[in-house]
Amino acid sequence: MDSPLPEVISMESSARSDSYFRVRCGSRVKYIVTTQGTLHGDALLMPLFSLPPLPYSRDDWTVATISRSNETGELVPSLSNRTLLGVKEIWHPEMVDCLSLDRVERLSATAFECIRRGQTGTVTTIAKVARFEWEIPRMERETRAYRLLEGTGIAPRFLGHVHEQGRTVGMLLEKIEDGRFAGVGDLEACRKALGRFHQTGLLHGDVNRHNFVVGKDGLKLIDYETSWETNDLEAFDAEMASLETELGDGSGRGGGFEIDDD
């Protein structure tokens, strides 16, 4: 049987710094770092055609760092089996393999609409996944926020944790059907939702209009990557006071997490 071909599923590339690639090969995910100056031009966009062959089927490495030899000009890989960072805030019983999700649409760098297949059929959901280790702290904060908000009715339902080879890297969320982003006309409903959010001891940190979604089941507040726990009443008041201006902002700021906005 032929071995599965590797494919890049996430990338952060630049000719001016190190570049990072998340590569799927069958049921395995590997990480490749190319040092600054190793790849240029189109090779940064399609790295697998330029990189030396790697033993993707082996389980004794997680990260390959590839550099160009100053003496020969050849690409030299160095394999490491270090343990990658993962989300530690595990509170929901459901664990979902990231590779089992069928992607439908990319919503932002870390979020995508997907189809989850189960014994009772398929369901369309939203997945938020840390592609690389530096995104884990934001995912950690958001996962904890969802735990604190469980049962309040102001957050989309948390459907489970998303893992990659056993390492928790994200979450699976309810998709808000027939939703639209809030506007100034929704100010009172947004104030009520934000007030309940503050009552859990959380400051949201980014109350732009795209983080308030009005759906058939009411208004939901989303995107807690910048939230943090505090008892600072002045900070709560300042965030609430900024809400009207934020809802009237037509610049599109914060619109990366897309829904159908009719």
Give the residue numbers spanning the domain of 234.
Answer: 180-247
On the question of pLDDT at 155 being above 60, the answer is yes
Q: Do residues 190 and 220 share a domain?
A: yes
Mean pLDDT for the stretch of residues 63-73: 94
Q: Do residues 107 and 168 share a domain?
A: yes
Q: Do residues 144 and 184 share a domain?
A: no
- What CATH number is given to the structural domain containing 132? 3.30.200.20
The residue among 25, 57, 80 that closes a domain is: 80
The residue among 80, 112, 129 that closes a domain is: 80
Q: Do residues 149 and 212 share a domain?
A: no
Q: Do residues 99 and 170 share a domain?
A: yes
The C-alpha torsion from 143 through 148 and 153 to 155, rounded to 10°, is -30
What's the confidence (pLDDT) of residue 251? 67
Determine whether 199 is exposed, middle or buried from the number of CB atoms within 10 Å of its CB (0-12, 13-18, 19+).
exposed
Q: Do residues 114 and 168 share a domain?
A: yes
Q: Does 197 fall in a domain?
A: yes
Q: Does 117 fall in a domain?
A: yes
Mean pLDDT (the chain, rounded): 92
pLDDT digits (tens, 9 = 90+) for 74-105: 999 999 999 999 999 999 999 999 999 999 99
The number of distinct structural domains making up the chain is 3
On the question of pLDDT at 206 being above 60, the answer is yes
pLDDT digits (tens, 9 = 90+) for 110-130: 999 999 987 677 889 999 999
On the question of pLDDT at 262 being above 60, the answer is no
Q: Do residues 184 and 170 share a domain?
A: no
Q: Does 29 fall in a domain?
A: yes
Q: Do residues 101 and 169 share a domain?
A: yes
- What CATH number is given to the structural domain containing 210? 1.10.510.10
Q: Does 258 fall in a domain?
A: no
Q: Does 88 fall in a domain?
A: no
The residue among 54, 80, 106 that closes a domain is: 80
Mean pLDDT for the stretch of residues 232-243: 98
The pTM of this model reads 0.90
Q: Does 256 fall in a domain?
A: no
Q: Does 260 fall in a domain?
A: no
For the chain, give the secondary structure using H, E and C.
Answer: CCCCCCEEEEEECCCCCCEEEEEEECCEEEEEEECCCCCCCHHHHCHHHCCCCCCCCCCCCCEEEEEECCCCCCEEEEEECCCCCCCCCCCCCCEEEHHHCEEEEECCCCEEEEEEEECCEEEEEEEEECCCHHHHHHHHHHHHHHHHHCCCCCCCCEEEEEEECCEEEEEEEECCCCCEECCHHHHHHHHHHHHHHHHCCEECCCCCHHHEEEECCEEEECCCCCCEECCCHHHHHHHHHCHHHHHCCCCCCCCCCCCCCC
pLDDT digits (tens, 9 = 90+) for 4-43: 899 999 999 998 999 999 999 999 999 999 999 999 889 9
Q: Do residues 165 and 185 share a domain?
A: no
Q: Does 86 fall in a domain?
A: no
CA 195 to chain centre: 26
pLDDT digits (tens, 9 = 90+) for 45-67: 999 999 999 999 999 999 999 99
